[in-house]
């Protein structure tokens, strides 16, 4: 593995290898595995889990990490190509990324969707243009339409909890939120569940379907794994027999880039907040998943988040073990296995 940009780029053996390595590292510490290795972390957007879990993971493996948040004690960085840089940005990523890479053995970048141009965001053009100028192994810390670290950690969480892969019913449900949020987590998670071989239902109100390229990718994964993918606005039908309800909000593709029209479009959808009543017809041990951060009593009610179905902290913890497995595979030389 040369970089970790997209779970879809990995075959079943590579995913299985990362998951089993994550379990091994969780059970048996390897405090010298990445001794002397340095990870650079470039965050264009805020984070709690990704920021902390990568630093903690590198420390647990004997390496270290440094964090750059452009504009916060460092130069503001320009990401667009071909622009006249007479605004606030003092430096371009075309220089900054190779410079950071020259201090480190691997680089992680978080760069959310612009949220204005759906086609550009679906093409993940900002992240991919930065990837082109990165000369060391690169890790996607969440781009416009992908969050492979979240997806891998969530896969491990379902494995840990014995959620069935084949025959497991996974519902990704849209939830109300005051802001139009990016597509990265829903895109990554719907694909991950399909890649895991689950029967995936995308539950969303009319007008909030995921864009076709995202669905097509998940459908291809389901065809390969033996899983399935369907889409519905019918909550009762979707939740019947579910093993997982994974809640997430995302922007409507119908009004993408127009926050005012989007807000009006979603105004009547505040009942898309996961409550205990959503579990009436699910499997008895149906789990509640969310990538965090989550807004209480907006996306999910307190009773669910504080109750036994919620595995959100387990998911967040698994981000660290999953990412440690990724770092281990990227930064240890072949033949350096214990």
Pick 142 or 146: Cβ nearer ligand CP: 142
CA atoms of 255 and 203, how far apart (whole Å): 19
Pick 21 or 312: Cβ nearer ligand CP: 312
Pick 142 or 160: Cβ nearer ligand CP: 142
Pick 99 or 292: Cβ nearer ligand CP: 292
Min separation Cβ 49 and ligand CP, Å: 4
Chain positions 213 to 232 lying near ligand CP, rule: CB under 6 A, are: none
CA atoms of 152 and 163, how far apart (whole Å): 15
Pick 50 or 282: Cβ nearer ligand CP: 50
Min separation Cβ 250 and ligand CP, Å: 14
Pick 111 or 282: Cβ nearer ligand CP: 111
290 binds ligand CP (CB under 6 A): no
Is residue 324 within 8 A of residue 25, CB to CB? The reply is: yes
User: Which tokens is 118 given?
Assistant: 């759906």
Among the residue ranges 199-207, 276-284, 288-296, 329-337, the one whose residues contact ligand CP (CB under 6 A)? 288-296
Is residue 186 within 8 A of residue 308, CB to CB? The reply is: no
Min separation Cβ 336 and ligand CP, Å: 29
Chain positions 130 to 189 lying near ligand CP, rule: CB under 6 A, are: 142, 150
248 binds ligand CP (CB under 6 A): no
Among the residue ranges 44-52, 75-83, 111-119, 167-175, the one whose residues contact ligand CP (CB under 6 A)? 44-52
Min separation Cβ 16 and ligand CP, Å: 23
Where do we find the tokens 């029209």?
261
Among 77, 163, 291, 326, binds ligand CP (CB under 6 A): 291
> SS3 for the chain, per residue?
CCCECCHHHCCHHHHHHHHHHHHHHHHCCCCCCCCCCEEEEEECCCCCHHHHHHHHHHHHCCCEEEEECCCCCCCCEECCCCCCCCCCCCEEHHHHHHHHHHCCCEEEEECCCCCCCHHHHHCCHHHHHHHHCCCCCEEECCCCCCCHHHHHHHHHHHHHCCCCCCCCEEEEEECCCCCCCCCHHHHHHHHHHHHCCCEEEEECCCCCCCCHHHHHHHHHHHHHHCCEEEEECCHHHHHCCCCEEEEECCCCHHHCCCHHHHHHHHHHHCCCCECHHHHCCCCCCCEEECCCCCCECCCECHHHHCCCCECHHHHHHHHHHHHHHHHHHHHCCCCCCC
292 binds ligand CP (CB under 6 A): yes
Our CA angle for 105, 108, 110, nearest 5°, is 165
Min separation Cβ 132 and ligand CP, Å: 24
Min separation Cβ 246 and ligand CP, Å: 12
49 binds ligand CP (CB under 6 A): yes
Min separation Cβ 141 and ligand CP, Å: 8
Pick 126 or 282: Cβ nearer ligand CP: 126
204 binds ligand CP (CB under 6 A): no
Pick 44 or 265: Cβ nearer ligand CP: 44
Among 3, 30, 47, 56, binds ligand CP (CB under 6 A): 47
Among 9, 48, 128, 263, binds ligand CP (CB under 6 A): 48
Residues at the interface with ligand CP (CB under 6 A):
47-50, 142, 150, 291-293
């Amino acid at each position: 593995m040369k970089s970790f940009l997209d779970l879809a780029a990995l075959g079943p053996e590579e995913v299985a290898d990362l998951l089993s390595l994550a379990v091994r590292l969780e059970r048996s510490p390897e405090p010298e595995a990445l001794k002397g290795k340095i990870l650079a972390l470039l965050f264009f957007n805020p984070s709690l889990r990704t920021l902390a879990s990568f630093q903690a993971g590198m420390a647990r493996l004997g390496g270290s990490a440094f964090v750059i948040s452009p504009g916060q004690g460092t130069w503001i960085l320009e990401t667009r190509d071909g622009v006249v840089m007479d605004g606030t940005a003092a430096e371009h990523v075309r220089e900054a990324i190779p410079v950071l890479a020259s201090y480190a053995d691997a680089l992680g970048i978080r760069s959310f969707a612009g949220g204005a141009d759906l086609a550009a965001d679906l093409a993940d053009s900002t992240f991919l243009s930065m990837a082109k100028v990165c000369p060391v192994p690169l890790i996607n810390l969440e781009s416009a339409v992908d969050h492979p670290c979240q997806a891998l950690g969530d896969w491990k969480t379902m494995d840990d909890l014995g959620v069935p892969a084949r025959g497991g019913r996974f519902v990704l449900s849209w939830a109300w939120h005051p802001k139009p949020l990016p597509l990265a987590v829903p895109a990554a998670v719907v694909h991950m569940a399909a890649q895991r071989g689950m029967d995936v239902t995308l539950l969303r109100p009319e007008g909030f379907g995921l864009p076709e390229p995202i669905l097509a990718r998940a459908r291809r994964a389901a065809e390969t794994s033996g899983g399935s993918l369907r889409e519905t606005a019918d909550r009762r039908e979707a939740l019947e027999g579910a093993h997982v309800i994974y809640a997430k909000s995302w922007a409507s593709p119908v009004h993408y880039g127009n926050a005012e029209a989007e807000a009006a479009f979603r105004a009547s959808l505040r009942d898309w907040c996961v409550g205990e009543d959503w579990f009436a017809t699910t499997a008895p041990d149906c789990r509640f998943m969310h990538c965090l951060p989550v807004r209480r009593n907006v996306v999910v009610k307190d009773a669910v988040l504080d109750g036994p179905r919620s595995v959100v902290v387990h998911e967040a913890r698994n981000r660290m073990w999953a990412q440690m497995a990724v770092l281990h595979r990227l930064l240890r030389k072949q033949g350096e296995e214990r």
